[in-house]
């Protein structure tokens, strides 16, 4: 496999894909219309299909791919914002993916704007593409060690540091991980012991398997959940696109109340 190019990537032009998934009940039709009335970069495509293996040739997912229901959000998930928010973004991401770094910034902007008043929540799940980013699985394990030792807030602060402290096409400095853990309030010795013993290797592998079963073929890949409906944002869409999607869905939700 050819190594990833080291030139700075241009913002992705991969369109976001909004697909409705199978569900036990349906939101009012006006909310469904909200998924369709977005910028041209977002569109409906047929759901269902057979899950495919991850595409390790690129970080970015293909433009069209099958989408199956993902596992329900539970107490083991890392949630930023109101767990009962009307709109929930469930992102599958890779800490060393350049596009994931950009989308992490976008989602932090979304949370700054909509998370404080409980309108939006963000769930982070692991999809380390080891063939492209050899250290990504271990970084994901490190984040889980931080979560165990420092809690949910420490997990998110650690994740922010991982993305913020590296250049777009630079791999994470693995020697800096204990320092990042200490910076978010975690004991370095306990963190190192957790990471060295591979305590969360199975947890990371489970997220990876869940993502593959859902048909994800690249990162970042984000599921948008509104009640019983599920759509997807395919790739590292810019803030303006995600913000427009959020505004439109909120308007539709408020119109049904």
Tokens of 175: 């020697």
**47, 42, 39: which is closest to 19 by C-alpha?**
47
How many other CB atoms are there within 10 angstroms of residue 24's CB atom? 5
| Residue 132, H or E segment | none
The correct CATH number of 16-256 out of 3.30.40.10, 3.90.1150.10, 3.20.20.70, 3.40.30.10 is 3.40.30.10
Taking phi over 0 as left and psi of -120 to 50 as alpha, with beta for the rest, 111 belongs to alpha
In contact, 199 and 136? CB cutoff 8 Å:
no
**240, 244, 239: which is closest to 102 by C-alpha?**
239
Domain residue spans of the chain:
16-256
Taking phi over 0 as left and psi of -120 to 50 as alpha, with beta for the rest, 116 belongs to alpha
- The CA distance from 143 to 127, in Å, is 13
In contact, 32 and 245? CB cutoff 8 Å:
no
pLDDT at 61: 57
pLDDT at 20: 35
Print pLDDT tens along the chain (257 aa).
Answer: 332 322 333 333 333 333 333 332 233 333 333 444 333 233 322 232 222 233 334 455 555 554 567 899 999 999 999 999 999 999 999 999 999 999 999 999 999 999 999 999 999 999 999 999 999 999 999 999 999 999 999 999 999 999 999 999 999 999 999 999 999 999 999 999 999 999 999 999 999 999 999 999 899 999 999 988 999 999 999 999 999 999 999 999 988 65
**74, 49, 83: which is closest to 64 by C-alpha?**
49
| Residue 90, H or E segment | strand 87-93
Tokens of 233: 């944002």
pTM of model > 0.85: no
């Amino acid at each position: 496999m050819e190594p990833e190019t080291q030139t700075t990537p241009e913002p992705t032009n991969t369109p976001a894909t909004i697909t409705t998934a199978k569900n036990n009940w349906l939101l009012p039709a006006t909310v469904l219309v909200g998924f369709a009335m977005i910028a041209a970069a977002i569109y409906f495509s047929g759901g269902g299909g057979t899950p495919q293996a991850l595409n390790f040739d690129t970080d970015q997912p293909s433009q069209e791919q099958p989408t199956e229901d993902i596992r329900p959000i539970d107490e083991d998930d890392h949630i930023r914002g109101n767990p009962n928010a009307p709109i929930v973004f469930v992102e599958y991401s890779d800490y060393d993916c350049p596009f994931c770094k950009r989308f992490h910034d976008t989602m932090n902007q979304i949370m700054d704007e909509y998370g404080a008043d409980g309108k939006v929540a963000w769930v982070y799940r692991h999809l380390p593409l080891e063939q492209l980013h050899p250290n990504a699985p271990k970084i994901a394990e490190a984040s889980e060690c931080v979560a165990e030792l420092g809690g949910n807030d420490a997990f998110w602060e650690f994740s922010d540091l991982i993305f913020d402290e590296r250049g777009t096409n630079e791999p994470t400095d693995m020697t800096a991980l204990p320092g990042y853990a200490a910076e978010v309030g975690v004991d370095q010795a306990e963190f190192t012991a957790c990471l060295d013993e591979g305590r969360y290797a199975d947890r990371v592998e489970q997220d990876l398997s869940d993502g593959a079963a859902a048909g994800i073929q690249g990162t970042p890949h984000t599921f948008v959940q509104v009640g019983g409906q599920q759509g997807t944002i395919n790739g590292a869409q810019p803030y303006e696109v995600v913000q427009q999607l959020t505004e439109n869905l909120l308007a539709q939700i408020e119109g049904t109340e």
